[in-house]
Amino acid sequence: MGQWFAKYYHDKGFKVIISGRTPEKTARIAKELEIDYADSDVEAVRDANMVIVSHPIEMTAKSILETAGHLQKGAILFDIASVKGDAIEALEKASKMGVRAISIHPLYGPGAQSISGKQILMIPINEDVHVVNEMTQMFEADGGIVHVLESGAVHDKMMALTLGLPHLLNIIFGKAISEEDIRVVKKCSGTTFALQLLLTESVLSQDPNLYYAIQSQNPAFQAVLTQLIRILEEMASAITTRDKKRFITIFEETKAAISRDSAFSSAYQRFYRALDVIRENNR
């Protein structure tokens, strides 16, 4: 996503300078994007009005602290990590150095053609509403949809549910069917399997290091993992003991909770529309 934001700001007319852990790769990316590059983060941020930290999750806080002391007063500094963890504390320290800090999470991947229609999460640092408003106006002007969260802890809890859990479930699904020939399995599959396989294959086509970091570095994910194991054990017990009543109770309780989603009533119809689009694209 660092490359995505470099291109985004370059296209908006900003002068962009990037740095990275691998000089050769950084130089190649800079050439492709027609922007400048520096040999180090410290060199890259000098005289900058805005700095984006786009490092692996476990390196984000360290990078924030290393660069914050080299920024001019009033410069905007933000990270785009999928898990905030100790990045928020680092940004709070940076703000005390005169930096205008904020934490941002774009809820889309580097394949996005534009920010229009995409969701962006923001976490204010030390209640600095001015920088929140400034960044919100910039993204909304390009069609982005901004949601402000109250804290990094709230963010990480939501990411445990909306990123870590779906990733894990799809990896588990893939692992469960991996001992069979997937080509044979597909010939015998129905509609639900087709969509689930698409999700699983999209997850498995990405970098496992990122998925590991999203699950292992998020302090909120352990509670979600514990809950998942408890639910699996409860469902397994209902199935293996043929406790139909318990199985249906779990199903109905879950349905009642999820049906509070306003789009629930049209889910079945949208499911088949999505499947039709996928089949059309595969022809």
Q: What's 264's DSSP letter?
A: G
Assess whether pLDDT exceeds 90 at residue 27: yes
Where do the domains of the chain lie?
Answer: 2-150, 154-281
Picking from 176, 116, 110, the residue whose alpha carbon sits closest to that of residue 141 is 116
Please compute the mean of the pLDDT values over residues 237-255 and round it to a whole number.
Answer: 97
Q: Give 93-139 pLDDT, tens digit per residue.
A: 999 999 999 999 999 988 889 999 999 999 999 888 999 999 999 99
Note the pLDDT of residue 283: 63
Note the pLDDT of residue 189: 87
The 10 Å Cβ neighbour count of residue 138 is 15
Q: What's 165's DSSP letter?
A: H
Using a pLDDT cut of 90, give the percent of the chain over it.
78
Reported residue count of the chain is 283
Note the pLDDT of residue 20: 87
Mean pLDDT over all residues of the chain?
A: 93
Q: Determine whether 6 is exposed, middle or buried from the number of CB atoms within 10 Å of its CB (0-12, 13-18, 19+).
A: buried
Strand partners, 53: 79
Band the pLDDT of 176: cuts 50, 70, 90. very high
Using a pLDDT cut of 70, give the percent of the chain over it.
99
Note the pLDDT of residue 160: 96
Tell me which CATH code domain 154-281 carries. Answer: 1.10.3660
Assess whether pLDDT exceeds 90 at residue 77: yes
Tell me which CATH code domain 2-150 carries. Answer: 3.40.50.720
> What is the 3-class SS of 49-82, one letter each residue?
CEEEECCCHHHHHHHHHHHHCCCCCCCEEEECCC
Note the pLDDT of residue 264: 94
Question: How would you classify the pairing of strands 50-53 and 36-37?
Answer: unpaired
Distance from C-alpha of 61 to C-alpha of 111, rounded to nearest angstrom: 26
Question: How would you classify the pairing of strands 119-124 and 100-106?
Answer: antiparallel
Distance from C-alpha of 16 to C-alpha of 9, rounded to nearest angstrom: 7
Per-residue b/e over 95-124, b at no fewer than 16 CB within 10 Å? beeebbbbbbbbeeeeeeeebeebebbbbb
Please compute the mean of the pLDDT values over residues 132-150 and round it to a whole number.
Answer: 95
The 10 Å Cβ neighbour count of residue 31 is 10
Q: Give 40-65 pLDDT, tens digit per residue.
A: 888 899 889 999 999 889 999 999 99
* pLDDT winner (highest mean) among 21-25, 51-55, 128-132, 234-238: 234-238
Q: Which tokens in the block code for residue 89? A: 């504390």
Note the pLDDT of residue 110: 86
What separation in angstroms does the CA of 116 have from each of 5, 100, 236? Answer: 14, 25, 43
Q: Give 180-221 pLDDT, tens digit per residue.
A: 999 999 999 888 998 999 999 999 998 899 899 999 999 999
The 10 Å Cβ neighbour count of residue 242 is 8
